[in-house]
A and B are shown apart, each in its own frame.
Chain A
Amino acid sequence: MHNIIIKKILIISFFIFFVTPANGETVHLDISDKITANAEFYTGKDNMPFVLILHGFMLTYNFPTVKNLAESLNESDYNIITPNLSLGISQREKSLACEAIHTHSLEQDIAELEQWFKWLENKTDQEIILIGHSTGSTHLINYLSKNPSTKVKKLILIAIPDVKIGFQKNQFQELQIKAEKLIANNDISLQNFKMAYCDKYPTTAENFISYLELSKEKIILNLDKITIDKTLIVGTEDKRVDHAWNKQLTQHGVNIIQIDGANHFFDDEHEFDLLDFIENIINKK
């Protein structure tokens, strides 16, 4: 335990005094006529693997958990790309508020991920490691289950959230029924739904329904389709995950690493634990 603390202090000191923070290069990718998506690309060594880190629900690559992880791994010479899901907003730079109009759907998100994978495949022949934080993990599971790639060697999932968490009993089903009815009625009007931690989530029923693909059941099904090395890192203090369900994932080929005391975002010193574990996973042959 002491060794770990000393190590953390040394790393912090190193960052403060010796390491120039790595700055990524913004990469633009035209998703459609109107939408251009951005990603931050941190160039590492040519012979080093490419790591794609996907942010959580409605966040951006500037979210500290993602950004710090990207910069740290880049310091270890990995080539890092952190795409921003546009969520229907061209060159979105800020996290999208719950109350904002959500014109995006899971399909669109996955389509954007597909384009980034294409961009990545065009960019390198090196092996690719996927890291998803929170909902980013579920997006990667969803994508990878549909688009298996030989270049992708490892899938690191950080704190897979439970989409139903926070919902009252039957609330999720009621919303689902409501959405399905609206879809059935071709109603494309905005409705206030509840999504993850958002109590107010104005979107269309169709868009709302699309994200039900990220349910625990669907995740397990999709995980089973993914054959590469899969590791789940979860903080013991993370309130947004279903720890019991996480344990079940080992049965589906997922290695689980628990970091004591870490929350959903691996703040403070847990950031370094997360980095250590991830580097260990990446470096593990």
Chain B
Amino acid sequence: MHKKQISIKSYALSFILLYILIFTLSSLIAFLDIKKLNNNISQANINAGRLELSDAINALVTKHQSISNNFADWDEVRQQIDNPIHYSYWQTHRLPNINLLPEDFIEAAVYDINGETLDKTSTATLPKTIISSDLKSYFDIKKNVPLLIIISPVMMKGVNGASKKIGYIATKSEVLGHLLSIKQFDHIKISSIKLLFQEKKYIEVNQLINFIQFNVKESTQTLLITGQIKQILFKNTTILVVFALIFYFLISYFLSRPLRQISTYIDALRNQPELQLSQNLNTNFHIHELENVKYSLSQYQEKLQQVYSNLDEKNQELWEMAHHDALTGALNRRAFEEHWANVAELFSESRCQVSLILFDINLFKSINDSYGHPFGDEVLKKISYAIQKVLRQGEKTYRIGGDEFAAILHNCKPDDAIIIANRCQASISEISFADQGVTEPVRASIGVAHSDLNNPTSISDLLWQADIAVYTAKKPGQAHVVTYSEKIKNISTTILSSKINNIVFNAIETGDDIKMFYQPIINLDENKVEYYEALLRIKANNEIIPPDKIFQIIEAKKLDYELDVVIFKQIISDLNRAIIPPRTGISVNVSGPSIIHEKIVEQLSTFIPYLSQYKIVLEITETSLITNINHASDNIKKLKDLGFLIALDDFGSGYSSISYLSTMPVDIVKFDITLIRQLADEKQFSIINHLAKMIGETGHLLVAEGIETEELKEKIKQLGFNYAQGYLYGKPSPTIEQ
């Protein structure tokens, strides 16, 4: 999964944005610090304002106290204390007109030494009586206006310099109004001052500040500094943004653009490897390293193109090698399968007529065995050439197996295909091997199958149809060229039966469903079981597949060796389970292809541990042994040396030859049932009698098959057969009575 990558432009943008973000954050922090500083300054302003107001009040109180003290020290006050007879007049007429008490002094009163007011009838709002122990100044709240009440003692200087108290004065002044009317505050907005006394009547001097609400002036210096800092921040931000944009442009132009061009070029190379860098990337980059990259890319591409060129050549060679048969020069099975897949696809799209011709060289193994592999190779070459020669232009010969060839014909009518197949047959027949000293003609069985234009799936059936046609052509009495039809379909029911096919294939693949049946072979002299023949049965879904059907498929699919191996394993398993009684024996059928197989000795070696207790006989059919005698002899010799006995099976069913028999390294000759059944005929009896005696005299042990009656039993005993096999002694059975 290709993970999406981020472009350098995005990175640059991200870094710039990150930088701006960090700057913005730091600016924000600075801004918050400024704000905090402002708050601190504001708080300090408030404190300063409070202090200022407090100081102003204290100064005013002190000033009024001083004025009151001066008033108390006034001669006329002493005059009134000494002689208060005219006090009312003095207070009414004199006091209001003196300069000693400023305008904000609303009222003043004089008291005697006992604190009693001099004016007994006064309607003044000042206290009537002064308590000598409490001369503290205070604010008297009237209609939300604080009036400062100051009480001062009146002193008289003594003769000896000491002073003595002779009375008191009290003054009432409207301090705050006066204060607000004249005072210019540094920190406080005078207009904002509010007095909040609520229900208070009496407030101590130092508490007055707590009942005054005010707003402070904005510090001009702070505003110036804050404004200046904000301006600096704004300027810096502007500069940063401008530089960020310039930086972004420079990165885009000098770095991102060239890289993008290189990237685009490399992307384009994917689809058009032949692109030339000099034509598609001809702009000069301004960065040395990028120019180097461009140059290196150019060099790399040049070398890569060389490599590609070499690789193409090698690939072509490899393809040729992979798709051609080295021996014949024809296309091989791989090429056939690839081509066939294309044909199937093409057919499903266009439904053009397709014909498939399969060629199978008759008795090719025998040819190989008889004349040697070099000759066999020569046969293959010449047949390949003979087929190709007949095919039309564009049509190819495929070697799809050891002795199998194929040809695919496009847009070819069935009749034309048959004509071509017959021409091929004729061409093969005309091949002369006289140069190699062989005068026998080589034939091939040819199967032809045509696609059915009305059936879209017919193309997939062509292979097995042609296969059946070849199989049919190989049958004795059949024409060498057979075209698949419904008629021959029935002949090959077994092969067609996909169900049986599946069962057999599965049995070979897994070993499941393989079941061995054992039929006793009796020692006629001792009248006891000499050994048992292991007979294959495949049982699936409670259905036993008949051996003839099994072997039809095995032969058609050439799975002889694979089946034998599975059978060996099953017999070993049965031996391990002691199904076969000890000190008897077992005969194992070995097919023709198996006995010449290079690994047959190795496979059969698994029986060696049982040789001490069991007689193990390998039964090889007469036909397979004769056709493969050269290759089989080595293996048979090795097996005999290992302790196996070799039996020639089905003797008399084929082209039995006494001369062959004399050269065959067999221990036992098993007369085919067809010969035994002929014993009723006297003439045949005499021939078989002589044949048996002759073979017996050469040291071979004789086995008679198909003994079903006592009469037949007596006859074979009379003929000198050593062993007998047949229903008289027992049918093939999965179990053996111990």
Give the B-binding residues of A (Cβ under 8 A): 28, 30, 34-36, 88-94, 96-97, 99-101, 103, 190, 202
Q: Tell me if B75 and A92 are in contact (CB < 8 A).
A: yes
Cα A89 to Cα B76 with chains together (Å): 7
Contact of B97 among A28, A90, A99, A190 (CB under 8 A): A99
B74's nearest neighbour on chain A, judged by CB, is A94
Known: A28-B159, A202-B89. A101 touches B94 (CB 8 A): yes
Contact of A36 among B75, B83, B89, B159 (CB under 8 A): B159
- Name the distance in Å between A105's Cβ and chain B's nearest Cβ: 13
For the complex, is B82 an interface residue (Cβ under 8 Å from A)? yes
Interface positions of B from 57 to 82, Cβ below 8 Å from A: 74-76, 78-79, 82
For the complex, is B86 an interface residue (Cβ under 8 Å from A)? yes
Known: A34-B83, A35-B82, A89-B82. A100 touches B76 (CB 8 A): yes
User: 9 A-B Cβ contacts within 8 A?
Assistant: A35-B82, A89-B75, A90-B79, A90-B156, A91-B78, A91-B156, A92-B79, A101-B76, A101-B86
Cα A93 to Cα B76 with chains together (Å): 10
Q: Is chain A's binding surface mostly helix, strand, loop or mixed?
A: loop
- Name the distance in Å between B673's Cβ and chain A's nearest Cβ: 175
- Name the distance in Å between A17's Cβ and chain B's nearest Cβ: 33
B-chain residues with CB within 8 Å of residue A35 when the two chains form the complex: 82
Q: Interface extent on B, as a size class?
A: 10 to 19
A95's nearest neighbour on chain B, judged by CB, is B75
For the complex, is B93 an interface residue (Cβ under 8 Å from A)? yes
For the complex, is B11 an interface residue (Cβ under 8 Å from A)? no
- Name the distance in Å between B162's Cβ and chain A's nearest Cβ: 12
- Name the distance in Å between A193's Cβ and chain B's nearest Cβ: 14
B160's nearest neighbour on chain A, judged by CB, is A28
A60's nearest neighbour on chain B, judged by CB, is B75
Known: A36-B159, A91-B156, A190-B89. A103 touches B94 (CB 8 A): no
Contact of B86 among A89, A91, A92, A190 (CB under 8 A): A190
A-chain residues with CB within 8 Å of residue B85 when the two chains form the complex: 103
A-chain residues with CB within 8 Å of residue B78 when the two chains form the complex: 89-91
Q: Is chain B's binding surface mostly helix, strand, loop or mixed?
A: helix
For the complex, is B3 an interface residue (Cβ under 8 Å from A)? no
Cα A248 to Cα B89 with chains together (Å): 43
A-chain residues with CB within 8 Å of residue B74 when the two chains form the complex: 94
Known: A94-B74, A190-B89. A103 touches B79 (CB 8 A): yes
B-chain residues with CB within 8 Å of residue A92 when the two chains form the complex: 75, 79
- Name the distance in Å between B72's Cβ and chain A's nearest Cβ: 13
Cα A93 to Cα B78 with chains together (Å): 11
B 89-104 to A, binary, CB cutoff 8 A, 1 in contact else 0: 1100110011000000
A-chain residues with CB within 8 Å of residue B156 when the two chains form the complex: 36, 90-91
- Name the distance in Å between A216's Cβ and chain B's nearest Cβ: 31
Contact of B83 among A93, A99, A103 (CB under 8 A): A103
Q: Tell me if B97 and A94 are in contact (CB < 8 A).
A: no
Cα A64 to Cα B93 with chains together (Å): 30
Contact of A88 among B83, B90, B97 (CB under 8 A): B83
Instruction: Pick the 7 closest A-B CB pairs, nearest first.
Output: A89-B79, A28-B159, A34-B82, A89-B75, A101-B86, A92-B75, A94-B75
Cα A89 to Cα B86 with chains together (Å): 13
Q: Tell me if A96 and B75 are in contact (CB < 8 A).
A: yes
Q: Tell me if A101 and B89 are in contact (CB < 8 A).
A: yes
Cα A154 to Cα B661 with chains together (Å): 204
Cα A96 to Cα B82 with chains together (Å): 16
B-chain residues with CB within 8 Å of residue A94 when the two chains form the complex: 74-75
For the complex, is B4 an interface residue (Cβ under 8 Å from A)? no
Cα A202 to Cα B76 with chains together (Å): 13
Contact of A93 among B75, B86, B98, B159 (CB under 8 A): B75
A-chain residues with CB within 8 Å of residue B83 when the two chains form the complex: 34, 88, 103
B 155-173 to A, binary, CB cutoff 8 A, 1 in contact else 0: 0111100000000000000
Known: A30-B159, A103-B83, A103-B86. A202 touches B75 (CB 8 A): no
Cα A190 to Cα B93 with chains together (Å): 11
- Name the distance in Å between B727's Cβ and chain A's nearest Cβ: 173
Known: A36-B159, A90-B156. A99 touches B94 (CB 8 A): yes
B79's nearest neighbour on chain A, judged by CB, is A89
B-chain residues with CB within 8 Å of residue A36 when the two chains form the complex: 156, 159
B99's nearest neighbour on chain A, judged by CB, is A97
Q: Tell me if A101 and B79 are in contact (CB < 8 A).
A: yes
- Name the distance in Å between A28's Cβ and chain B's nearest Cβ: 4
- Name the distance in Å between B443's Cβ and chain A's nearest Cβ: 167
